[in-house]
Structure 1
């Protein structure tokens, strides 16, 4: 049987200084630390809070196995255009560094509450004209829930439009169609809130017993349901060469929230890079931090913010 390969909606990013903005290390609490990008000439700018994807993703969107600098490059582009940006390390990054990580105690709600804490922190400062939440990949769903009633606008960047069980099943059966029934049986149990003993370790990367509680907490949220709850301006962005979250998901989100602005960017992949070649080129871009992000993405995001 082929080895199962899955990108659980990761996110990725970059480095550098720019005279158009200054950067400052800013801690919201002991677990959440990030970089605040402040435009030099703006007196009371809008603030974009970036939420990254799944796994141990840092403020720049990088992981140990994937360094692309896409979130960092997006933050720099937005800050250069006059909007403040805050991008922070997920709590799991701090937990790994401290050696105090307990996978069995992780929950999707932790990330939602972290996002709410970040929003509240910057709201309390009264330094910003508006608070915009931008979520990449898994961070899109986190952001939808956190932004509801707490933010002035929301941006979904390559976010899924379906619940995670459907996304994972679709990704895995592309390589291993023969295990569809097994996957679905696992998800039936998780949807019922039940953990189970995993007999076949071939599935451990997704269904090991220590990660099942997190999956149970995650699977409860359906992006197409959550985005309907938003009563704020919303931008939905995806790219045509995204091999993790297809354009279909953006269309599902748009259908759920018809008043949202939809931007489908030609040849942009999941990490905002322009890919005109094959899957091999696409995958290689996940470890080419020197590649720029789509200029159209920067334009779309900056124009959306200016309309608020």
Structure 2
């Protein structure tokens, strides 16, 4: 005879959420698996963007849009299981933090590859998809370069140019001689050499972060994508204030056989938003606002079509 709880469980419907853990040093990484109610047709790992962004897509820096949770829920409805996880030092994975001087970009890629192996093994599949958002797109590209068991890449709002190009654009309005000093420091770091850096820009060039910058700056998203042999979906919104269609087109040029999805009126967090900056940013703090129509459908159709 069924107990009351077991009976109620038989009445429940919807995706099944399970905590998952990835062994790691100095402490395990923590994540969430969301599996479809019925058959699991594919599995994917959602890789977060830069900064203290957690597994749901939220950040203490004013982001509470739950983009990754909403994406996972939408994909589960399409029969796709997902794993989303807290990065080292963030939320449930706080104990796995790495000292800033020891952080390397490759470590994030290794973590993503580890989650892909776990996701595939847990669901009994031969491979897992990597869905990278913002900086997570570059993490996915690096992870796929050296990892087996990757079905393909879904790159959402990912940069199409090396970080050094973007940083130089951001520093273009800095007065001289500071700009020249900053550009020279960037060139040194891109060449793999530590540097003094201008004191006025210590937040960018502090000694403890330079090893990470040296591991990150030489990475060219387009070059990485050109050498990746698997299927690729590139998704980009037209009202994204952080990454533009030019980035998506640069990625598509590197991989002419990739699928490029353009979402009109969709911002960096994959939600409908106007080009007006204030109104656009307002969506960053609204978890009740759904993902833009077509985002989940495009991702699911691509994954299930391969």
TM-score range, shorter chain: 0.7 to 0.9
Taking only aligned residues, the RMSD between alpha carbons, in angstroms, comes to: 2.1
| C-alpha distance after superposition, 1:238-287 (max 9, x if no partner) | 11111111110000000000000000100111111111251111222222
* Residue pairs, 1:61-140, within 5 angstroms: 61-65=57-61, 66-93=63-90, 97-98=94-95, 101-125=98-122, 127-128=124-125, 130-140=127-137
Contact 1:95 1:101 (8 Å CA) reproduced: no
1:128 aligned counterpart, secondary structure: coil
Cα contact 2:133–2:156 (8 A) shared by 1: yes
Alignment of 1:216-255 (within 5 A): 216-255=214-253
Q: Could you tell me which of 277, 280, 283 is aligned with 2:281?
A: 283
Alpha-carbon separation, structure 2, partners of 1:277 and 1:126: 40
2:20 aligns to what?
26
**Greater mean alpha carbon deviation, residues 150-159 or residues 279-288:** 279-288
Of 42, 56, 59 in structure 1, the residue corresponding to residue 55 of structure 2 is 59
Q: Could you tell me which runs of 5 or more consecutive residues in structure 2 were left unpaired when the two chains were aligned.
A: 1-11
Change (3 A) 1:100 1:239: closer
Moved more, 139-148 or 154-163: 139-148
For residues 60 and 83 of structure 2, what CA distance do their matches in structure 1 show? 21
Radius of gyration: which is bigger?
A: 2
TM-superposed CA distance for 1:232, in Å, is 1.2
Aligned to 1:154: 153
User: 1: CA distance between counterparts of 2:188 and 2:197?
Assistant: 12
Per the TM alignment, residue 229 of structure 1 is displaced from its structure 2 partner at its CA by 1.5
**TM norm structure 1:** 0.87
Unaligned runs of 5+ in 1: 1-17
The 8 Å contact of residues 29 and 93 in structure 2, kept in 1 or not, is answered as no
Residue 160 of structure 1 deviates from its aligned partner by 0.6
Offset at 1:88? 0.4
Q: Structure 2-normalised TM-score? A: 0.87
Change (3 A) 1:176 1:76: farther
